[in-house]
Amino acid sequence: MEWLLILIVLVFGLVIYLYIQNYYLEIDEYTVTIPKLHNNIKGKKIIQISDTHLKLRYNEGYVNHILQKIKAQNPDIIVITGDLVQSEQSDLDQIPIRKLCEGLSAIAPTYMVTGNHDIQTVNFEEFTHILDSSNVRLLLDEAEWVTFKEDEGGIVLMGLAERPKDEEIPKPILKYIELTAEMSKQPKILLAHRPERFKEYLDDKTKAPSLTLSGHTHAGQMRIPFIGGAFAPGQGLFPKFDYGIFSDEENQSKRLIISRGIGNSTFPFRINNRPEIVVITLN
């Protein structure tokens, strides 16, 4: 009987641990200095979420919890860096996409870029319609001048569309994002789902972002103490870009922030890797 009691305690402890790791949202904050940023933009706050992987039977109470956490941060804008939904979803009305997106856009202007799962939805046209009618601006190889309420000044926000095949990726990678002459002179933030292409995002000097925001890695899914993430798609075992903030080796002012994400994809658990909401204060 003693061994049975020990087993029950261990199983109960494992269930609690996995619940915390999968649903106990963590707020991670970064202050990022961007050269030539207008003084009125300094101190503005961007919320980044990523990889929610919404699917059938997704807990709507958890969506409310996400929205409450984000609202409490009082953001100026919100960005979603891909994989809003799990791939191969067909009945989008049964997935809380609209609930999350309408909730986000009611808090602050919300922008999104596609991830690999988003473009694999059965009806991508319906997916984009839901975003548009929920006031979420989907940036597909586009740039937009973003202002912050009544304050003077702004920033260029660019979004790189996800491609289903590597051979479809343009060279240079930001080739199809068109900027006006004035935009080219202004500070730029890029939303791009895949962080492993960070160096490529900086190739075109007229479009190179000061800050790139990515997801995709789930922080390596399982995090090993003193080592980091175990595996990330596009990078393999022990990825260099797992999560957190990185600087370009040649130009330290060019930064990359990778979100650990919120949801799970094929592997159903997070291990030593809680879901994350990223809060970025511009400086």
**Domains in the chain: ranges and CATH:** 2-282 (3.60.21.10)
Q: In this predicted structure, what is the pLDDT of residue 15?
A: 81
Cβ atoms of 277 and 26 closer than 8 Å: yes
Q: In this predicted structure, what is the pLDDT of residue 150?
A: 66
Q: In this predicted structure, what is the pLDDT of residue 255?
A: 98
Cis peptide before 172, with omega less than 30 degrees from 0?
yes
CA–CA distances in Å: residue 108 to residues 74, 149, 261: 8, 10, 20
CA–CA distances in Å: residue 158 to residues 2, 73, 150, 155, 205: 60, 23, 21, 10, 14
Q: In this predicted structure, what is the pLDDT of residue 148?
A: 82
Torsions phi, psi of 133, nearest 5? Answer: -75, -10
For strand 223-224 and strand 228-229, is the pairing parallel, antiparallel, or unpaired?
Answer: antiparallel
pLDDT along the chain (283 residues), means of 10: 80 81 93 93 96 93 97 98 95 95 98 97 95 98 89 90 94 96 94 98 95 96 91 94 96 96 88 96 96
* b/e per residue 225-241 (b: at least 16 CB within 10 A): eeebbbbbeebeeebeb
The token duo for 179 is: 């900027």
